[in-house]
Structure formats: C-alpha cells, structure tokens
Homo-oligomer: A and B are copies of this chain.
Amino acid sequence: MTIRTVVWGENIHEHTNAVVGGLYPQGMHTTIADALSRHPDISASTATLQEPEHGLSQARLDETDVLLWWGHKDHGAVSDAVVERVAKRVYEGMGLIVLHSGHFAKVFKRLMGTPCALKWREAGERERIWTVNPGHPIAAGIPEQFVLENEEMYGEFFSVPEPLETVFISWFAGGEVFRSGLTWRRGAGNIFYFRPGHETYPTYHNPTIQQVLINAVRWAHNPQAALKNVEDAPNVPVEQALEPITERGPKLHAAGEAGYR
C-alpha cells in the first residue's frame, strides 16, 4: 500500500527572493516531494497556494493519506473553506505534518485551538536538534543529535497544547531552546509539527531532515477507513438502547428531533 502524500507549498518566496529561488528552483514543495518519492512506499505530489482551491479540492483530499504544509508569507490568503476542509479530513484520519513557519498556518491554529506563537531570529545561527524520544517511530535512524549549521532561531514559549509526545528539542547558538518535534492526534488524524525549514537555508536538502519527514509520513499515515462520523451527534432512541430501559421524566426533544448545535 502506497502512502499518498501531498506537499503543500505557499510558493511565494521561491519566486520573489533570489536566495530562496536559488536553493529551491522548483519550489520547496517539489524538493520535499522528490525526497519522499524516492521511497517505494510513498507517492508524493504537490499543491500550491496559487492553484484553484489551493490545489486542495475535496476530491484530492479524499485521496490524500498525509498532507505536509509549508507556508510563511501569506497565511491569510488561504481560504477559510479550504482550512475547514483540511481540518475535517484530519478528523477523518488524514495525517498532517506542519513545517517550520507553518506554525502560524490557519489550519494548524485551527486544529490546536491555541495561538501557536513563538520567538524568532533570522541570523543563520547553529541549531542542534536532540532526539529526546529515541524509540518513537519518527526518530527511527535519527542520531541522538544532529546539526543544521544555518537556521532561523525559534524560541519558547511555543503556545501549543501539551503534546502527546515530545520527539525533538532544539538548541540554538544564541541561547534558546525549542520543542522542535511534537505529536498530537485530532479525531483520527495524526499531527506532527517539525520546526526546521527556513526558506533561505538549504534545510530540506539535508538527508537527516528528509529522513525525519519520511518517518513522519509513515507515522502519520492512518490506514483505517475514513472516520466519517466524527462530527455527528446521533440520537440513540430509547427503543434502540443496548440495554433495555424505560423512558422516564420530562424531555426537551420530541422523538426523532435533531439535537441543538
């Protein structure tokens, strides 16, 4: 079974900034998708902000197992309808991997329920990423620590909900730390946030970073059928109760009436 992934890229700085364009001439999304596609258990395509529906039609999302999301310059340009559509697919079981500046993506804030804010500094400083959960599937084959010689700093407090598990923590030359690899489940969907990936550095060409993303895709993949009823609030009529009960006391709702929302 191939894991069907879509790498979503905002696709702006690649065209407006010479450094970014030089590092990622086909776009960061393409670099990431190419890295994923080298593995026979993963098929990867791309989608961008500029496409109709940002490349994320319902039909396409319905055939997507794991979505990776990179955005930075124009989070506000993503339509709310697409945000809701992606969130619903996550509840159904689509994995979501949020990359770097995607911490402020509408869909990440929507799924976390928190501001997802942090400190930052763009100084090309050294980042050391430490594995603090070496048995986690996302850490498979990743050394106890590895270095990105030039990265943007992200610092705490990172205002996200306490994760299920913390997988990576970053050390920065300027003195900060950051929880760089965090997992959550929302509905049937697995979510992983991974910090590195500032567009002016060659981070997504780094083989260790690529390995983390491959691991994350495999971890986030939920092979179960889509959990279609996660937003339903079904009434269970008395006569269909699993154990025999008799209706008692006053009621608000007439038989068969839907609940309030």
Contacts and interface: CB of A to CB of B under 8 A. Distances in A.
B165 A73 contact: no
A205 interface: no
A252 B199 contact: yes
Interface residues of A, number: 103
A145 B242 contact: yes
A2 interface: no
A74 B247 CA distance: 26
Nearest to A186: B114
B121 A235 contact: yes
Contacts of A104: 233, 260-261
14 contacts: A13-B252, A73-B260, A76-B261, A91-B115, A104-B260, A119-B233, A120-B259, A121-B241, A123-B248, A134-B227, A135-B227, A150-B249, A156-B169, A166-B179
Given A128-B175, A130-B177, A173-B245, 8 more contacts: A17-B252, A75-B260, A114-B186, A125-B241, A135-B227, A162-B165, A166-B166, A166-B179
Interface of A: 13, 17, 19-20, 72-76, 87, 91, 93, 101, 104, 110-115, 117-125, 128, 130-137, 139-141, 144-145, 150, 153, 155-159, 161-162, 164-166, 169-177, 179, 184-189, 198-201, 222-224, 227, 230-238, 241-243, 245-253, 259-261
